[in-house]
């Protein structure tokens, strides 16, 4: 089973009311939640490890996970409130305002993390849960405890506004990168991780030398490129679609990559070290297909396998 480790929250999306004014409608979301939902819909064995509230929004998250066949046995429950993300859409692109103080997800501690993960073969980390403390330390501890013998994918999805102590964040993130087998970053993420005027391609070797077997860079409408420790690289184009909004696009891209690798038997540490270029290309193409469906409709609504 692929275990997605990170935030599950409620996206509050502005919607016209019957009076003509705008209200906010709650939709289940969060980067790791979205990836878990997409994996479940693609038929991959998947679970979620997140802090989820017992409040009405937490119940909404639970229902959505069950509907998409996501295992919830590793969910950590509490009576703290659910994180709310108020979504602002402009020309189809989303920005967010978060209400996250003392939330069920943010307040996770290293001691809350499970000692055993018997059914888990791969771990996926990312999103704001890597920046918001104390949960960021909890997820780093989980990776340190369980990442040595499991395939690990990491998507930092860096949002500088969430980083209160840059030195502390960089130290924690660098430690997680060293334990990851796949690191997926946007071009902006890579420029933040490795500052400087050098072209992106010149920064990739330094990231690979830190530990990963594969680095994937997404470049928006310019597609994505995968770089391998062997020196090989592959590039794919985006699928041409009419974009409704970009909510959840990167999350579902990651799900497509993980699903393809899992289905092909490549989602283990040894297999990723020996991954052929064609295997990486197929995974990137699957990620692009899944993301194309998601951006063609409103909200983070990833496709089911039959829709592909």
Report strand pairing: 76-78 vs 51-53: parallel
Determine the average pLDDT of the residues in 9-20: 86
pLDDT digits (tens, 9 = 90+) for 21-30: 888 889 999 9
Residue 302's pLDDT is 94
What does the mean pLDDT of the chain come to? 94
Q: Is the pTM of this model over 0.75?
A: yes
pLDDT digits (tens, 9 = 90+) for 237-281: 988 888 887 778 999 999 999 999 999 999 999 999 999 999 999
Closest among 190, 193, 152, 153 to 169, alpha carbons compared = 193
Residue 162's pLDDT is 86
By residue count, the chain amounts to 308
Distance in angstroms (rounded) separating the CA atoms of residues 227 and 108: 34
Residue 90's pLDDT is 72
pLDDT digits (tens, 9 = 90+) for 50-86: 999 999 999 999 999 999 999 999 999 999 999 999 8
* 200: CB partners within 8 A, 6+ apart: 187, 190, 191, 217
CA angle 145, 182, 100 (to 5 degrees): 65
pLDDT digits (tens, 9 = 90+) for 81-118: 999 998 777 776 667 788 999 999 999 999 999 999 99
> Going from the N-terminus, what domains does the chain have, and what CATH number goes with each?
2-307 (3.40.1190.20)
């Amino acid at each position: 089973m692929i275990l997605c480790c990170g935030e599950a929250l409620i996206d509050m999306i502005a919607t016209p009311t019957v009076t003509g004014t705008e209200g906010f409608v709650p939709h289940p979301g969060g980067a790791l939640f979205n990836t878990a939902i997409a994996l479940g819909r693609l038929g991959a064995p998947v679970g979620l490890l997140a802090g989820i509230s017992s409040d009405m929004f937490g119940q909404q998250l639970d229902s959505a996970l069950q509907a998409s066949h996501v295992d919830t046995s590793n969910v950590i429950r509490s009576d703290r409130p659910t994180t709310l993300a108020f979504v602002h859409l402009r020309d189809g692109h989303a920005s967010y305002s978060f209400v996250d103080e003392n939330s069920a997800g943010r307040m996770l501690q290293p001691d809350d993390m499970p000692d055993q993960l018997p059914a888990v073969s791969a771990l996926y980390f990312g999103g704001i849960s890597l920046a918001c403390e104390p949960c960021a330390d909890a997820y780093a501890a989980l990776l340190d405890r369980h990442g040595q013998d499991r395939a690990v994918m990491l998507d930092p999805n860096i949002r500088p506004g969430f980083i209160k102590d840059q030195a502390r964040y960089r130290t924690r993130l660098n430690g997680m990168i060293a334990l990851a087998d796949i690191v997926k970053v946007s071009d902006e993420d890579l420029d933040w991780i490795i500052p400087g005027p050098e072209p992106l391609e010149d920064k990739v070797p330094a990231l690979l030398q830190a530990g990963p077997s594969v680095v994937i860079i997404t470049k928006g409408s310019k597609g994505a490129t995968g770089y391998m420790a062997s020196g090989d690289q592959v590039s794919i184009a985006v699928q041409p679609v009419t974009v409704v909004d970009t909510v959840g696009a990167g999350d579902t891209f990651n799900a497509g990559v993980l699903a393809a690798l899992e289905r092909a038997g490549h989602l283990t540490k040894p297999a990723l070290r020996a991954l052929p270029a064609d295997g990486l290309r197929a995974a990137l193409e699957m990620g692009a297909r899944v993301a194309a469906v998601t951006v063609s409709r409103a909200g983070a609504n990833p496709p089911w396998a039959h829709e592909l």
